[in-house]
Each structure stands twice: as structure tokens, then as C-alpha cells.
Chains A and B, each alone.
Chain A
Amino acid sequence: MSGDKSYSLEMTGISKTFNATVRALVDVDFSVRTGEVHALLGENGAGKSTLMNILGGVVPRDSGTIRRYGNEVEIRSSQDARNLNVSFIHQELNLVPDLRVYENIFLGEEPRTPRGFLDKKRMIAETAELLDRLDIAVSPTAVVRELGATYKQVVEIAGAIRQDSDVIIMDEPTTSLTDHEIEHLFTIMRSLTGHGVSIIFISHKLKEVFTICDSYTILRDGKNAGSGAIADVREEDIVRMMVGRDLAGHEFYSARELGDPVLQVRDLSCSGCFQGVSFHVRRGEILGFTGLAGDGRSELFEAIFGARPFDSGTIEVQGKSVRIPHPTVAVAQGIGYAPRNRKENAIIHDLKIVDNVSLPSLRGFETFGLIDRTKEIANTKSYADRMRLRYSSLTDSILSLSGGNQQKVVVAKWLEAGSDIIVFDNPTQGIDVGAKSEIYELVMELAGQGRSIIVLSSEFTEVMRLCDRVYVMYHGTMVAELERDQATEENLMLYSTGVKSMYKEEATL
């Protein structure tokens, strides 16, 4: 492919294989014109981050070439990327909150006076000039911690511009921003492209993509799945390209007889997390909750479980209104909760397997104030056998188990505690494919026994495989309630990206 000056960046034939087996990228082409905003789209795991990490010099590629303005370049380290004027603005910002704006912008490259002291005057003056050029109303001496979310983002962008970056990668930059702040960010992005800067915009929110982007590249399963000008496509086309052909995914599901509602939540609100959420789950039902990161579903269930205070709304369990100020009350009401980030929130590293299982139900193992170890181990063993837990001894550390088996321990814990409503947040996070299907079978089995299961997941295929009914959330509000046959990947994508809402004419951006 011959070089072309009108392309700021061309990546051709990029391939990357991890651990000799996982093919993350296969012969991917990705070209960005000078001065455009280019959307990089795809589902989680489609290869977007790998591609950007190759560009940022974080991950080495196996094959393929990278050109800047038509000249072939080599990127082997993040330093290389920086020297080639490529900047990566990460989702979690890389700012030091207790330093001032100019200190952050010059961090690590502070100019000095001839005497060897920091040249504050010069840094402040240059920062002021830079912020002015970008039309950003922030004082160079403001402390970053006290800035609003957009301004933090903008400060990081300003830092990239100071280093003469002309390719800026923005990974989900709008996740923590309000509508107004997003507008402001977009204005700044347009001003940048006017100066010849190219922006790679990674986002799941298609409305934003259609507002700000000029062209798009879609990845699916590590391969190119489409590219072109935004003006030539509709949102539905993009969604279809991202999702691809129908995925075989119904093998776990079997229909069940559903009973009466066991948990009924009405108008639950918690400022900053979720607003006016109402839903119910029936006996024996597998209920799904999906949406993008920051949709509020995790916070919602933390609140229901008593681990997070909320402002208003009611919770009814088995038809009775209950107040749940602490997880102890939730468990007494028969609710179990397998939180996301299992390693931090669900398993207790220093405890043995059996101790992790019995923790919420220890009271039941006491005789004369002492724990009956024999009974404790016997009970745990019966769950371990039923769930085909792979372990060598139940008195081994919980860390001796694989991720999937740790998740089974978490399930056993709630079964032992007698929970008949079990909430799974991201149940297959960090679990390999084989163990995944075991967890799915387990969920199906639990529902078959009459338990109500609530699955929180941002993987659409996961909720589609398991759930009888799916709620979709967007920015803390409920936007859709879909029966199993309506819960197609297209539908889930349209609702969770804020394109459509069942409850409002026009969903907020």
C-alpha cells in the first residue's frame, strides 16, 4: 500500500496472538485521515483495546505495518508512540489530583531556571497560552482535584497537545460526563480537528458517535467488520456489523414454570447512581439486567442488598415491605449477592474454602458457642460435590481454586445461607469459556429449583443465553423491559446505547 499524506495514520495487516492460542487480531486494517474524528467500534473483546495498545506501544504486534503520513514507522514502546506524537487518553485519567493544572501538564518534563529551580513562570505562561488556544476556561494554577470531570479530561488533552500530539486516542471519554459536559468536550474536539489533529474515538454510545465522528471502523472477533463514512450509514447498520451473524447461544436455556413475584422494587432512587427504578422478579425466574458501564445496575443492587444507602423508593420481599439497612437483613430476607470483581468483593483470601462458604451462615454451625467443624466441612462437601467443584482439600486456601470454582464457592455460600433470590453481578468475569458454561448450567439448575436469579451483565450474549426477561438500563434509568423473544442483540444494543427508550420519546444523550 503506497503512503498517502492525507492519512495521519495507517495500520495495515495487523495481527496479534496471545499465549499462542488466543487470536486477538487477524489482519486488521485501520486508517485515520488527517483532522478527522474516527470511531473505533466493536463489542467487548472485539479487539479494540489490543489494536490501540499496539498503537500506543504497550503491546507488540506479531505482524503488519504502521505508517504516519505515508512513512512507515516502528512502535515498540510507549516512548516510541509518544515520540511519534500519538497520545492515549485513558478511561481512568492519568492525572495527579493534588497537583495544579500546569504541574500536571508538565509532569516529568518540567523546565528549569538556569539555577536549577522549577521555572514556574514559564510553565504557567505556556499552560495559559495552551488553554487559551483550546478555548478552555480553566486557570493554570487550579488544583486538578477541584475541577469538574470534563475539565480533567480536557487538561489531559491539553497535556497531549503540548507534546505536539496529532493522533489522540480517547477511550470512552464521556462515561463520567453529563450531557452538558459532553457538548463542551465535543466543541473542544472539533477545534482540535480544525488544527489538523486526528482523534480516535472509542465509545459504545452510538448517539455520540453519530454526533461527533466523521468515519468509523468496526471490529468483530478481532477482524475488520466494516468501515466507511458515518454519513453513509444508519445506527442500525452499525449495530448489525458489530453483532455479526446470529450467535448460537440458546443451548443452556430451558423454559420453566414461573411463580408469583418474590421481589418487587418500586421507584428506587439514589442521587448520582440511579433514578426511579422499578422492577420485579418472579419465583423461578432468571432475570437479566444489562447496559453499558455506568448505567447504575451494580449500584442499584448494592442498594437493594443493603450495602449502599438510597434516597427513596420501596422494596417488597414475598409481598411484604422491608427496610434493608445492612446486608445481614438482606440475607435474613433470603437475598444472596455475588458481587462483581470477585477477587475484591466476594472471596476472602485468608480464609479457607470451607470458611468462605460458611461465613454468612456460621450461626447454624454453632454448638455451645463453638463451631462444629465436622458439620461445616460435611455441608460444604455436599455443595462441592453437587457443583463438581474442583479442589484438593476443603481446608485449602480459597486462592487454590480457579476463577470458575471460586464463583461456585460464592454460590455455595448463598445456598447454605438459604437464599432464594440470588443476584449475580458479572458472574463470568475472569472465567474461561469452559467454566462459563458450567456457571450457566448452575444458574439454570438453581432457577429450576424455584430460586429467583438476577443476572447483571454487560455481555449481551450472557443475558440472552440465560434470561427469561431482561431489563436494560441507561445512565441510571430503566429504558426497556424485554421478554426473552424480544431480547435480541440488536435490541439490547439499541436500548443500552441510548438510541431508543421504551419510556421516553427521546432518550437523553
Chain B
Amino acid sequence: MSSGTESTQGISVGERVRKVLRFLWLEYSALFALILLMVIASILNPRFLTFRNLSNITRQVSVIGIVAIGMTVVIISGGIDLSVGSVLALSAVAGMSALNATGSIVVSLLTTLAVAILLGLINGTLITRGKLAPFIATLGMMAAARSLATFFVRGGNVVGEIEAYTALSRGIFLGFRYPVYVFLMTAIVIGVLMNRTRFGRYVYATGSNEKATMLSAVNTSRVKLTVYGLCSGLVAVAAIMESATLNSISSANSGHMYELDAIAAVIIGGARLEGGRGYIAGTVIGVLLLGVLNNVLNLMDVSPFLQGFVKGLIIIVAVLVQRKSA
């Protein structure tokens, strides 16, 4: 306990391995669950461990994965964003409408981004200036944005008329579809942002103790505003992937219940719902865990009506297991 050293010299290799394992066990217990699940799945069903199946899983989870990364940042900051699904629908409706109207993919992308970020900044302003609880502000936005999306297209779908747009999602590189790479890139960029930049540090600090952070000369209001803008910006990226995959967007159904799947992935990934703790890598594992679980249940012909039950069980067990480290 005396004068500290930052080197790990003098510690045996065995001890270092044990330390790393202990860290993984405490912070990434979802990783062990994922590995366990994959082992069980490959024993139960030989089709599971095929490249085709694994590539499919990653494609299926990439949209919700990008949303979940945004949600991770919000939850670490001590907030929550219930409006992600509705914001996805409204921004995609706007983006697809712009695509059909102008024929320009660039205009479409910018429209999707602009609409989503605007909605996120409205969330952030309500929370910082309006002093609303994040739950309330984003609950309101969830209802309002969904309503606007359905109103603009009378509850229907917007089908893309520019075929090239779908290449954003349908393109394949090294056996994986583009959305998988977008998900991966998002995870890396936001991971670096959260761990290596001033902004990331402020987000952790604000989520852990907002008052002390403010008294340490950090403009916590600005941090929170940015957090909600960033989350919605990532939702826009997810919206683009979603609409490009289907070449269509449903104003009533797209993004439905995404907030719950995203929050589930974040929590399974080890983040603390009250803020101050959480990892992007954990969320990625959480997303994969939920994706693999869905896949396994499908392969085993479990009734789709029961899948929600299993998902619910996993979420609760994950949180119970994580309490050991809290």
C-alpha cells in the first residue's frame, strides 16, 4: 500500500492471467454467457456453427446493435432514451421521402441524420433546460415522433424508388454484409470516444455523480445535450441501414420496441442503469448474446411466442449475476 508503482513487474504470469480473468468475469460476465450459449448451440445443432449462419446473425443484430451503442452512452451518462425506435421511424421516413423526391442518396442521408439529431437535441434540451426526467422527456418524444412519422405517410410505408440506395446495406465484403462493418466501426469509434477522449470521461463522471462533476468545472448540461444528440445520430445510422436493407420503411412498425431490445443489450453488457458504469464492448456482447439466443431458439424450432419469455429470463438473470460486482 505504500508508494505506488504503475508497472506490473514482479507479478508472475499466472497471477496476471488470473487478474485478467477476474476482470473479465466481473466486468464482462456476458462474454462467458455468450461463449457458453454458443458451445451449447453448436452441440445441439450442427447448423449453428456454419459461416452462413454466423454471418446471418451478425447482419440481423447490426441495426439494433448500432442503436444499443447510442443507448449505452445515454445510460452511462445517467439517463435513458425511450424514443430511439420512434426517432428511427421518423428519420427514416424523412430520409426515404427525401430520396424519392430528389433522387439523391446524399440528400437522403443528410436528411435522416438532420432529423434524428434535431430530435435528440430536443430530448437533451428538455432534460437539461426543462429539468425533465430523461424517462419522461423521451417517453413524450417516443409518442410524438411515432405519431408524426405515421401522420406524414398516413400510417403506410415509404418504398424506395432509387435502387442504388439498397447497395448501402446489401453490399457484401469478405462474406459479411455492409451493416456488420458499420456496426463494428460504430463500436470502435464510440469505444474510443468513451475511453480515450475528454467527452467520454465527462459522460462517465456525469453519470456517476453529476453534482461533483459540475463542481469539478464540467459543463454537465452541455455533456448531456451532446449525449442525446449523439445517441439520435447513431439511431439515424441504424435507420439508414434498416431502410436500405428493406428498401422500405414502415411508419407504424419500423423500430417498434427497439428501445427495449437496446436497453436489454446494454444491461446484459454490464452497464449500470443508474449511470457511471458501462462498456461499449459489453454492449456488443449483449447484442450478440440476444442475437445468438434468437437464432438458437429458431434453429431448435421453439415457438416464436416463447422467445420473449426466454429473453426476459436472460435479462433478469444477467442483472442478478452482475449484482455480485456492484
Chain A interface (Cβ < 8 Å from any Cβ of B): 305, 307, 326-328, 330-332, 337, 339, 344-351, 355, 359-360, 362-363, 366, 369-371, 373, 377, 381, 384-385, 389-395, 413, 417
Instruction: Give the residue of A359, A384, A394 whose beta carbon is less than 8 angstroms from that of B216.
Output: A359
Instruction: Give the residue of B198, B208, B218 whose beta carbon is less than 8 angstroms from that of A328.
Output: B218
**A384, B196: Cα distance in complex, Å:** 23
State whether A330 and B217 are in contact (beta carbons under 8 Å apart), knowing that A345-B212, A393-B4 are contacts in the complex: yes
Nearest chain B residue, comparing its CB with the CB of A307: B215
B273 shortest CB reach to chain A, Å: 13
Asked if A371 and B215 sit within 8 Å, CB to CB, the answer is no
A359 contact set on B, CB distance < 8 A: 201, 205, 213, 216-218
Nearest chain B residue, comparing its CB with the CB of A389: B4
Is B303 in contact with chain A by the CB < 8 A criterion?
A: no
A377 contact set on B, CB distance < 8 A: 6
| Docked complex: B1-30 residues within 8 A CB-CB of A | 1-6
Is B154 in contact with chain A by the CB < 8 A criterion?
A: no
Instruction: Give the residue of B192, B207, B209, B216 whose beta carbon is less than 8 angstroms from that of A327.
Output: B216
Chain B interface size, as a band, is: 20 to 34
Instruction: Give the residue of A346, A355, A385 whose beta carbon is less than 8 angstroms from that of B212.
Output: A346
Which of B196, B212, B217, B277 lies at the interface centre, i.e. has the most chain A CB atoms within 10 A of its CB?
B217
| Docked complex: B95-116 residues within 8 A CB-CB of A | none
Asked if A393 and B208 sit within 8 Å, CB to CB, the answer is no
Asked if B209 and A349 sit within 8 Å, CB to CB, the answer is yes
Asked if A362 and B208 sit within 8 Å, CB to CB, the answer is no
**A347, B218: Cα distance in complex, Å:** 14
Starting from the known contacts A328-B219, A351-B205, 13 additional A-B residue pairs (CB-CB under 8 Å) come to A305-B215, A345-B211, A349-B208, A359-B217, A359-B218, A360-B217, A366-B198, A370-B197, A371-B198, A371-B201, A391-B4, A393-B4, A413-B216
**A347, B213: Cα distance in complex, Å:** 8
A344 shortest CB reach to chain B, Å: 7
A363 shortest CB reach to chain B, Å: 7
Asked if A390 and B6 sit within 8 Å, CB to CB, the answer is no
Listed A/B pairs (22) with beta-carbon separation below 8 Å: A305-B215, A326-B214, A327-B215, A328-B219, A339-B212, A339-B215, A345-B212, A346-B212, A348-B209, A349-B209, A350-B207, A350-B277, A351-B201, A351-B204, A351-B208, A355-B204, A359-B213, A360-B217, A377-B6, A381-B6, A392-B4, A394-B4
**A194, B270: Cα distance in complex, Å:** 63
Asked if B212 and A327 sit within 8 Å, CB to CB, the answer is no
B192 contact set on A, CB distance < 8 A: 370
State whether A337 and B6 are in contact (beta carbons under 8 Å apart), knowing that A350-B277, A362-B201 are contacts in the complex: no
Asked if A346 and B215 sit within 8 Å, CB to CB, the answer is yes
Is B276 in contact with chain A by the CB < 8 A criterion?
A: yes
Nearest chain A residue, comparing its CB with the CB of B207: A350
A265 shortest CB reach to chain B, Å: 19
Asked if B212 and A307 sit within 8 Å, CB to CB, the answer is no
**A3, B50: Cα distance in complex, Å:** 91
State whether A327 and B214 are in contact (beta carbons under 8 Å apart), knowing that A351-B205, A359-B201 are contacts in the complex: yes
**A30, B229: Cα distance in complex, Å:** 64
B6 contact set on A, CB distance < 8 A: 377, 381, 393-395
Asked if A345 and B4 sit within 8 Å, CB to CB, the answer is no
**A368, B276: Cα distance in complex, Å:** 25
State whether A344 and B211 are in contact (beta carbons under 8 Å apart), knowing that A366-B198, A393-B6 are contacts in the complex: yes
**A148, B142: Cα distance in complex, Å:** 41
Instruction: Give the residue of B1, B197, B205 whose beta carbon is less than 8 angstroms from that of A348.
Output: B205
A370 contact set on B, CB distance < 8 A: 192, 196-197
State whether A345 and B215 are in contact (beta carbons under 8 Å apart), knowing that A371-B198, A394-B6 are contacts in the complex: yes
B1 contact set on A, CB distance < 8 A: 390-392
A3 shortest CB reach to chain B, Å: 53
| Docked complex: B50-75 residues within 8 A CB-CB of A | none
